[in-house]
Chains A and B, each alone.
Chain A
């Protein structure tokens, strides 16, 4: 009797599993011959707009599915180099060593413009703080430990900053958002540049690590007196306050569409052919100093013709209709000249 129960139990379990696996898939998929499955991975910085784009594109062409996993820019670079994904995404352009490791040329395609913002959690204090570049460098070096430190207080007259420890939050995974942030810190401080350097993953002097932009915003939300860096849209979507940063022209600028677009204005003129350019600390009175492009990393040779056409088609859509979704999610549009240049580069994908 007992034997029968367990035997029945197991067989029911296995039959259920088999039935689930077999019956569910075909009902929801178009016939396998038509479906083109693309796997992609990378940056969390543009994940909100990418997930929107891939969803809209899938509605438009139901047989094309782009499965994007936001595992961080480091992951995007790694997996595209290893060939385990069809394309990657990163907010930090690949270094020359990384490009040398690739079996074939990897093309960089800028998609949107975004910004890193310093976000914080000050219980009871609902203000917009000003940060000088040196203040941010010293906070992340661990030299400034309290919120009411003179370097922060002098930029924020009249604000009653608490005498509490700053809980620094950074990324625990390899991240382009990190790359943008430390690129900015490296340009702003010789000490940071030589001590810590810039890469998608660095040896942080202080702080807690959160996984992905999602992890950092989660940690900042839950930890009083925390200070972290986030992509702009994550701060906006999660209603986290973020501060203004002083740009090289001396102005305290808040990150928004206008200031990020201003930062990119100069860059469009000097855009190199491989699109790898940094626009942190851009010149201009209204430019936000921690802005950046973010790129899709597309292999220049794609064996499967169906996949190749699907990717090329998506890129063309992304550069035209896709750009219309940017501003709704607080990402700035690409400058027209950059779009034109990218359209020509699409032809390089074989």
Chain B
């Protein structure tokens, strides 16, 4: 009897250890990624990287200034599409919503969320690039904007639903119309959660490469306006990584570090805010 008990206790300890190892593996993957990028990327970060344009092949001293601005521009364009459609759609689902139509919208949003990013790139190519006869920042922003919609819808709806009914009822009792309640009372109460959801959304599309390959294309120069091809950090990382030039590899590491730093920082701040809110909102 005691032997069997000892065996069970041993298995218990063993499994504790094994599952702990699993967690360690997962967490160390993150640490390895960070470590590698910091070591290789920090070496190549210099003033040139942030301020200079790419140089011809084989010449050193080039930078990715246009890619940084290009990414910023693409994110801005994407937000103009993704945030309005996502948030206002989310308001519909949370506040108005008929039964079947809401179900359809939620189902379609989930569907859109699962579409691989390269397929969204194809869609943007057929719908924007071909009619315009041009690769453009607009096409790239369109593709990224579509990717932003599902997460914006979901987080808007979730945070609006979390606002207790009593708040809405109180507002209506004081004579406000429904839409005024939404605009002046409910949304401001949920705005914290919604904006953090949007920050996570932006961080996600900032790193997307595949949909940009044949929409925004790339550019060795500054790209003015929105109807010209534009360089972007992820596409430059890809192009430089698969090339044989040492200088380009170094720049790819630096760009990866910059991109990862921005994405992770946004994620950490947003998630910390969300977790602390979750503690305070009663469930």
Contact = CB atoms under 8 A, between A and B. Distances in A.
> CB–CB under 8 A between A and B in the complex?
yes
Interface of A: 2-7, 9-10, 13-14, 16-18, 20-21, 24-26, 28-29, 32, 35, 37, 39, 41, 47-48, 51-52, 54-55, 58, 65, 67-69, 82-85, 210-212, 214-215, 217-218, 221, 234, 237-238
Given A7-B192, A32-B224, A69-B217, A214 B243 contact: yes
A105 B22 CA distance: 63
20 contacts: A3-B192, A6-B195, A6-B196, A7-B192, A10-B195, A17-B72, A21-B73, A24-B65, A37-B224, A37-B228, A39-B228, A48-B56, A48-B57, A52-B56, A65-B221, A67-B221, A67-B228, A212-B243, A214-B244, A215-B242
A55 B242 contact: no
Contacts of A82: 130, 133
Given A6-B199, A7-B191, A214-B242, A67 B220 contact: yes
A84 B72 contact: no
A128 B138 CA distance: 50
Contacts of B277: 2
Nearest to A234: B244
Contact of A13 (B130, B191, B202): B202
Contact of B69 (A24, A41, A217): A24
B181 to A, nearest CB: 19
Given A3-B191, A218-B242, A18 B224 contact: no
Contact of A21 (B76, B202, B221): B76
Contact of A47 (B57, B133, B222): B57
A7 B191 CA distance: 8
Nearest to B203: A13
A20 B67 CA distance: 12
B135 A13 contact: no
B273 interface: yes
A5 B273 contact: yes
B104 interface: no
A237 B72 CA distance: 34
Nearest to A214: B243
Contacts of B65: 24
Contacts of A3: 191-192
A52 B242 CA distance: 21
B237 interface: no
Given A3-B191, A55-B56, A211-B242, A20 B72 contact: yes
B134 interface: yes
B244 A39 contact: no
Given A7-B192, A9-B269, A215 B135 contact: no
Contact of B229 (A4, A39, A221): A39
B276 interface: yes
B244 A10 contact: no
Given A24-B222, A48-B57, A84 B242 contact: no
Nearest to B133: A83
Nearest to A26: B224
